[in-house]
Chains A and B, each alone.
Chain A
Amino acid sequence: MMEFLNFHLIPGLVLGSIYALGAIGITLTFAILRFANFAHGEMMTLGAYFTFSLIAITGWHPIAVLPAAMVLVGIVSLGVDRVFYKPLRASPVVIIVIASFGMMLMVRSATQFFWGVQLKSLVVGIQRPLVYFDALRISPKHMVIFASALILMLAIHLLLTKTKIGKAMRAMSDSPELARLTGINTENVIKATWMVGAATAAAAGVFLAYDSHVDTMMGFNILLPVFASALLGGIGRPYGAMAGGLVIGVVEELSTYAWIGTEPLLPPGYKAGVSFAIMVAILIWRPSGMLRGRVF
């Protein structure tokens, strides 16, 4: 029971909250800009690397420099949109997806060029887990990640429900055509979408790096689970993306638990296949996801 909680459920929730943050950006971009942004994973990676450098300069805690990292990734995102995606807005969707695939490789190579490919850490030293009730072990890192993720999700919620631009984002996610006819400035909404996506991606990257390490493939490695989370929750449903992320994170971690006997149900090397299997299942049986998002 304790093994279940400590080594599977809790890590699953932590991983799930990371997926949830990553999925928010994907679902908004998908709904508002109508394409699957393959470069999103690289924004997560960038967030981690910017944080790494900021820590090197300031010596502060990762969470403390996170806001600055978010801004930096936001600037990159807006720049990429302006130069590479905006000219293709009127092109068929497939063209812009190819462009985002190319962008994925370009951003990754830029990251590899500037920082090199050796693994790095955000913080040095091993933290001892806090022990509750003599058996529940939660590392402070996990608590920080989970709490920060919840705060961020709450902030997103407030943005989407209490601010004019947030409501405009939801409106455009419902119907870009009607948004235009209503007089909403669609380019502003698009910019806001990129910024929200960048901020959540940066956070996801930082939390992931904080939990493990910084490496240039980290964003790509969780891209599939993040896509799966967004699809599971329903495209265009930010709350669905959050829920979807948590579900997939937990399921992934639970898949290696020894449900039967003593061996993990699934060999850990195939963990990445779990989210993929879930995703294919959704696409075939319920493409609109849990909260009935857009089906294109």
Chain B
Amino acid sequence: MSVLALESVSAGYGETEILHNVSLTVDAGEIVVIIGPNGAGKSTAMKSVFGLLNMHAGRVLLDDEDITGTPPEDVVRKGVCYVPQTENIFPNLTVHENLEMGAYIRNDDISGRLQEMYDLFPPLVEKRKLPAGTLSGGQRQMVAMAKALMLEPKILMLDEPSAGLSPLFQREVFKTVRGINEAGTPILMVEQNAKQALTIASRGYILVDGQNRLDDTGDALLANDEVAEMFLGGGTAATP
């Protein structure tokens, strides 16, 4: 049983259809990556989980429960947390308040979880009373992820977490993502930076024009010449 499954999903905004018959799964313990050219529908695939689109066909299953079309606030309650690509923190709230908001629907004591987040993202400790909008790009990404993790979700979805970051911070982000996964949370991630993403991925899906094109394990995709040519800038991952 997969933690998350999209079965033959066709969806879009209003009448237009962006995803055609897309299927993917995320199993326990995995990091699953969606890559593909711009406009391939990668982010759309994630948004379909959150009921932010018009579903024309197909299902979304969470632990075998059909959550197709469930509105965002309820999907969160079911244990899916989503970090959008932009506007993923509350800039005028402090770092600490952002995390508190992340745990909004929880009524229990969150101090333990808060500490876990500070342990996972040490740079945030000294910044925790500062407005989140004043942090650097990489640190803001940390706040966004920590906020999403406050609910101890069944699965964490990340939309291009390395976007707009310098190469140094990109490496940091992927290291963090792996750390989160090792701590027990399965991850579904859309990424433009295919090479680095596949390096940490258990499996990957390639979407082109809103359709499944290819899927395999992370390593296999990295070694695949065709994939390399299309997305990895020529050559395989073995070449630095």
Contacts and interface: CB of A to CB of B under 8 A. Distances in A.
B101 A181 contact: no
B50 A181 contact: yes
A182 interface: yes
Given A178-B84, A182-B76, A185-B73, A170 B105 contact: no
Nearest to A177: B87
A184 B82 contact: no
Contact of A181 (B72, B91, B93): B72
A183 B93 contact: no
A184 B104 contact: yes
Nearest to A174: B90
A167 interface: yes
B151 interface: yes
B105 A183 contact: yes
Interface residues of A, number: 19
Contacts of B105: 183-184
Contacts of B27: none
A180 B72 contact: yes
Contacts, number: 58
B2 to A, nearest CB: 22
Interface string A154-186: 000000000010011011011101111111111
A167 B100 contact: yes
Interface in B33-73: 50, 72-73
A201 B236 CA distance: 65
Given A168-B101, A186-B73, A181 B82 contact: yes
B108 to A, nearest CB: 13
Contacts of B82: 181
Given A167-B97, A167-B100, A181 B84 contact: yes
| Residue from A170, A179, A182, A184 with most neighbouring chain B CB atoms (10 Å) | A182
B210 interface: no
Interface string B83-102: 01001111111000100111
Contacts of B76: 181-183
A167 B96 CA distance: 11
Contact of B101 (A173, A177, A184, A236): A184
A236 B91 CA distance: 12
Q: How large is the interface on B (under 10, 10 to 19, 20 to 34, 35 or more residues)?
A: 20 to 34
A44 to B, nearest CB: 27
B104 A183 contact: yes
B104 A175 contact: no
Given A183-B77, A184-B101, A171 B93 contact: yes
B147 interface: yes
B151 A174 contact: no
Given A171-B90, A174-B90, A174-B92, A182 B104 contact: yes
A186 B84 CA distance: 18
A167 B93 contact: yes
B91 A183 contact: no
A175 B73 contact: no
A293 to B, nearest CB: 9
A178 B90 contact: yes
A187 to B, nearest CB: 10
**A-B interface, 3 closest residue pairs, ranked by CB to CB distance from nearest:** A183-B76, A174-B90, A183-B105
Given A182-B104, A183-B72, 16 more contacts: A164-B104, A167-B93, A167-B101, A168-B101, A170-B90, A170-B92, A174-B93, A175-B90, A178-B87, A179-B90, A180-B72, A180-B73, A181-B84, A182-B76, A182-B102, A184-B101
Interface of B: 50, 72-73, 76-77, 82, 84, 87-93, 97, 100-102, 104-105, 147, 151
Interface of A: 164, 167-168, 170-171, 173-175, 177-186, 236
24 contacts: A164-B100, A167-B97, A167-B100, A168-B104, A170-B90, A170-B92, A171-B101, A173-B92, A174-B91, A174-B93, A175-B90, A178-B87, A179-B101, A180-B72, A181-B72, A181-B82, A183-B72, A183-B104, A183-B105, A184-B101, A184-B105, A185-B73, A186-B73, A236-B92
